[in-house]
Every structure is written in structure tokens, then in C-alpha cells.
Chains A and B, each alone.
Chain A
Amino acid sequence: MIWNKEAECMPFKEREKLQLERLQSIVKKVYDNVPYYRKRFDEIGVKPEDIKSLKDIAKLPFTTKTDLREGYPFGMFAVPLNEIVEIHTSSGTTGKPVVAGYTKKDIEVWSEVMARALTMVGATKDDIIQNGYGYGLFTGGIGVHYGAQKIGATVIPISAGNTKRQLEVMVDFGSTILTCTPSYALHLAEVAEEAGITKKDIKLKAGCFGAEVWTEKMRDAIESKFNLTALNIYGLTELIGPGVAQECPEKSGLHIFEDHFYPEIVSTDTLEPLPEGEKGELVLTSLTRDGMPMIRFRTRDITSLRREICKCGRTLIKMDRVTGRSDDMLKIRGVLIFPSQIERALLEIKGIEPHYQIIVTRPHHLDELEIQVEASKDIFSDEIKHIEAMKKKIESHIEKSIGLRVKVTLVEPKTLPRSEGKAKRVIDKREL
């Protein structure tokens, strides 16, 4: 099923024309209405009139997360605040969050792209969508909600967590579509198995999973345990939230809703645009966003683009599954953190040596963070209870700083890599 055939199956040439018109209009809009963009454009001497073809987008400056933070809270808005009808923030934990503002029209666009995404997964108005993404400032829950409402499906706004109730609702209400993070879907499947809930008790036919990097292996596991089709969704708060791209049942890439979000792939070294098919960093420009237009936002996600007519009939460009990031940022249980944040928190504790290593694992489908710290004289004691208390203190201090539960392990001095040169701080053992 295709929600919006005209837009999703539009011939390439026609769509390019539409994209150019929209690009020219949004570039003019940000130049006129957002002082940040005007300043950046003027600095490199580019004017809205310079955008004569889609390729000219490369003349425009990039926008980064740091730029957005500097504009905190409403500096990136292109309309007066009274036209903003909704606000969300990013899940990041470094300093101030990124604030996203939506006009009434933006919410309509969001509902539209989410309706396309959910339809691609198989949702119709007859479906019961169990929405296990978090509701609140996080865009996941509300985004799916808008799409489900637009389709006319029955949405269960159960939000994230409370596994027991999730399973009870899944069985009793007969949910047919599950939306949540893939790791949580696997967790649900395992708990269901333990509780003796069988495939016969569950009516799920499809799942729309995203907000974290996952693998084909995880897909296989979720599909076989729940007997459903598990599809990948992609999005980010800076652009709109979920609904930037969605995988179709062909499972050969995610269709980017490129009439609203214009994708480029740039080299992580030179930041020069790369030809189709090459792997690099995904850069996105919002073509229709009114409240907070985004010009060449560096997502830091590594992927590649392919243009082809998909067997599903859509002409929308496809992006590959995201395989990593161009910075050293880690995504742990859906939360983005930099190793440096952990370092900062660690060094705030007296007596800790600046040598540490972060080990990321996914033992039971949920990410776990272990931080190895060298047992300095100040931490060490002749009594176990003092050492344990010190470990607890470090753990709770880090948790308070980064918002994630961690496990601290003490190792012997001089066994961790030193900070001179490029020390390997993070060992990611997850199979991503």
C-alpha cells in the first residue's frame, strides 16, 4: 500500500523540478527570516539567487548540532513564536538540547510523512498500532501518533517501558503493528516467551522500528520471535522527528521522503558531495519546514544513497541502513553521548586517574555501558566495602551527569591505553 502515490511514485524529473522550487523558496525564506542563516550566507558570499539548480545546494553552508545549540532556545525559528504550535527537543545530553519548533503546517507535513511511513509498513485504518515510542519532548511517540491518526488507524499511546503492561495490551487489545526501538521489541519478545505467551496469542503483523542502529541479525530475531515483518524507520528531531525515511517490505533500503527532505552524501574528510552509491555522511535539507527550516544539516550518520525504481513502485531515493557515525558519538539505549562527557564526569571525582575505557555491549538486546577505571591509590582500600562504595559513588556520579546507568569496573594501574596520541577510549562490542 502507498499512502500518497502522486508524491511517492512521482517521475524523477518532475520531482527534481519540485525539489528545486522548494529549495529556492526555503533558502530565500531563511535568508530573510533567520539572522543565523543570513550571517552564514553573507560570510561566504552566497545569495538565495545563486541557487539555480539542485547541484547549487553545495554552495550553501552546513548546519551542525553545535550551531543549533548556539541558537538555543528559539534562535533557529523562522516564524514568530505565536505561529509555533508545538515544541520538541532532542534526546542529546550534552549541554542544552536542540529545540525544534513546528507550525500548524509543519505538523501537517509530519503527519503526512508518518502516514506514508506507517502505510509502507502495512498500516491501514483497520490496524491497531501499539506505539511504544516515548511520548513527551522526544519526537518518537508523537510523530507516530500523528501518522496513525492521519491514516485513521487505532493508536494505543502506551509510550515506552512497562513491559508487563505492553504485553498485556498486545494480547488483550490484539495490536497488529508495533512501533518502538528494535532493542525494546526484542526485549518484549523475550519477556513474552518467558511469560508463556505464544505466537498464537499475538496478532502483530508488522513493526516499525528505529531511533537506534540495528542489524539484520536483530531483524531476523524479532521477526521470528514475533512472526511479523520488521522494518526500519529513520528520522531526527532537527529535521522533523521520525518520518524522514522508511524501509518498504522489499527490505533493500529506506525511502527518503525527498519531496520534503533533500538528501546529500558528503565525504567525511573533505565534506565534498559524493556520487550516488558512495558511503559518506548524510546531509539533509528540509524543503517544506516553516517553523524551523534546516539547511544542509550534518546528521553525522554514515550511509549511502541509491536512486532506482523500487519493486514497491516508489521512485523515492533509497538510503542504506545507517552503519555508524562520523563522530565518536555513541548511541546508548537511544541516548546520544560523547565519550568526552563520561570523561568529564569521571574526572570530577577526586582521585580518579584520567585513564579509562568505555566498553559498550548488548548482552540481552539492551545496551550496557561499562567504564573501566584504573584503581588508583585514592580509590583503593584494604577493605572491600570501601572499594565497593567508591565504585557506587563513581557510578552514580556518571549517571547523574549523562543520564545513563553505567557499570564501573576497576582495573590495575597502567593497563589502560594512555591519553597521548589517539587512545582507544571506546570499545563497541555491539554487532551493529
Chain B
Amino acid sequence: MKIKQISVFLENKKGRLLEATEALAKADINIRALSIADTSEFGILRLIVQDPDKAKEVLEKNDFTVRVSDVIAVQVVDSPGGLASILKILNDNDINVEYIYAFIQKSGQKAVVVLKMEDLEKGIKALNEKGVILLTSQDILQL
């Protein structure tokens, strides 16, 4: 149950994040989740949007380097220990997490986190076995 994530290369330069988000706004693309990984020289903007193909097209038109990759989105109980229970499953199966970030959610609902593992297939299998719900791209549209 993989979903598509958009990654954008950002030079550490003034205004680049703004330009990227403005380009998406103009194309009427809503951001559902995001994170930024930064180093001293550059950053990677990771986005979950409702229409990744369109987002890619729009960003590339604006001269951004874009990459589409697979990640998973997991629903976790929005209470203490919710995330830990997911991570424990992965840990027990020796699956390393590359990165993780949370969805923008309205309060009171279930929390959704985006996960990228070293071995995505193995991770999906492990989580499925424990009955963890993975969101589909269809679900993302509903969020």
C-alpha cells in the first residue's frame, strides 16, 4: 500500500521554499504533509499531495529538480505510545527507518505518519502482519 511522495531539491538560498510552495498554490495543489531535511548546503523538501503527477509537472516547469518515490502512510492512534507501537514492529523485524514525518491533521482525529524504510516491501509486510492500517492514495484524497 505505497503512496507517492514528491521530493524537491532546494539550494540553501533565500526564497526557494516560498517559490516552490507558491508554484503549487498557483496550480491549486494542496499539501497534505511535508518535511524538510536540511544540510549546510542544500535541503530536500518532501511532500505528500493529492495529485503527485501534477505537482511534479508544475515544479519541473518552474525549474526544480523533482523526484517521485514510494513511501507508506500509517494511521496511528493519537495517544501516547501510538507511534512507538509502530516503530517497535519495525524494530523487531530489523527494519531501519530512513525518515518519518507527520500529516497535517485536524485535532481529535487519528494521526497519520509518513514512513520511508530501507526495505519498503519488508516493512509493509511486517506492518500488515500486525494489522497496522496503511493508507492508500485513495485515502490520501479523502484526508
Interface residues of A (CB under 8 A from B): 374-377, 380-384, 387-388, 409-415
Contact = CB atoms under 8 A, between A and B. Distances in A.
Given A409-B41, A410-B41, A412-B16, A382 B7 contact: yes
14 contacts: A375-B9, A375-B42, A377-B67, A381-B7, A381-B69, A382-B69, A383-B99, A383-B116, A410-B42, A411-B11, A412-B9, A412-B10, A412-B64, A413-B65
B67 A381 contact: yes
A384 B41 contact: no
A413 B41 contact: no
A410 B7 CA distance: 15
B30 to A, nearest CB: 20
A384 B39 contact: yes
A414 B64 CA distance: 9
Contact of B65 (A377, A384, A409): A377
Nearest to A414: B63
Interface string B34-62: 00010101101010000000000000000
A388 B40 CA distance: 12
B67 A415 contact: no
Given A410-B41, A410-B42, A412-B11, A382 B64 contact: no
Contacts of B66: 377
A364 to B, nearest CB: 18
Interface of B is mostly: strand
Contacts of A412: 9-11, 13, 16, 63-65
Which of A388, A410, A415 has most chain B Cβ within 10 Å?
Answer: A410
B9 A410 contact: yes
Query: How extensive is the interface on chain B, given as a class?
Result: 20 to 34
A316 B5 CA distance: 72
Contact of A382 (B5, B13, B42): B5
A383 B5 CA distance: 12
Interface of B: 5, 7, 9-11, 13, 16, 37, 39, 41-42, 44, 46, 63-67, 69, 98-99, 116
A413 B66 CA distance: 10
Contacts, number: 51
Contacts of A376: 65
Contacts of A383: 44, 98-99, 116
A414 B63 CA distance: 7
Contact of A380 (B7, B39, B63, B98): B7
A380 B9 CA distance: 7
Contacts of A374: 65
A384 B37 contact: yes
Nearest to B37: A384
A345 B82 CA distance: 50
B39 A413 contact: no
A413 B42 CA distance: 13
A374 B11 CA distance: 10
Contacts of B65: 374-377, 380, 412-413
Contacts of B44: 382-384, 387
Contacts of A409: 41
Nearest to B16: A412
A373 to B, nearest CB: 12
Contacts of B39: 384, 388
Contacts of B10: 412
Contacts of B13: 412
B67 A382 contact: yes
Which of A376, A383, A388, A410 has most chain B Cβ within 10 Å?
Answer: A383
B20 to A, nearest CB: 10
A381 to B, nearest CB: 7
A384 B41 CA distance: 11
- Lowest 10 A-B CB distances belong to which pairs? A382-B7, A375-B9, A382-B69, A412-B11, A414-B63, A375-B65, A380-B65, A380-B9, A413-B65, A380-B67
A387 B11 CA distance: 13
Contacts of A381: 7, 67, 69
B63 A413 contact: yes
Given A377-B67, A380-B67, A382-B69, A415 B37 contact: no
Contacts of B5: 382
Contacts of A410: 9, 11, 41-42
B44 to A, nearest CB: 6
Nearest to B70: A382
A377 B66 CA distance: 7
Contacts of B9: 375, 380, 410, 412
Contacts of B11: 410-412, 415
A375 B116 CA distance: 22
A3 B65 CA distance: 65
B116 A382 contact: yes
A344 B99 CA distance: 36
Which of B11, B13, B66, B69 has most chain A Cβ within 10 Å?
Answer: B11
Contacts of A380: 7, 9, 65, 67
B57 to A, nearest CB: 14
Contacts of B69: 381-382
A382 B46 contact: yes
Which of A376, A409, A410, A412 has most chain B Cβ within 10 Å?
Answer: A412
Nearest to B71: A382
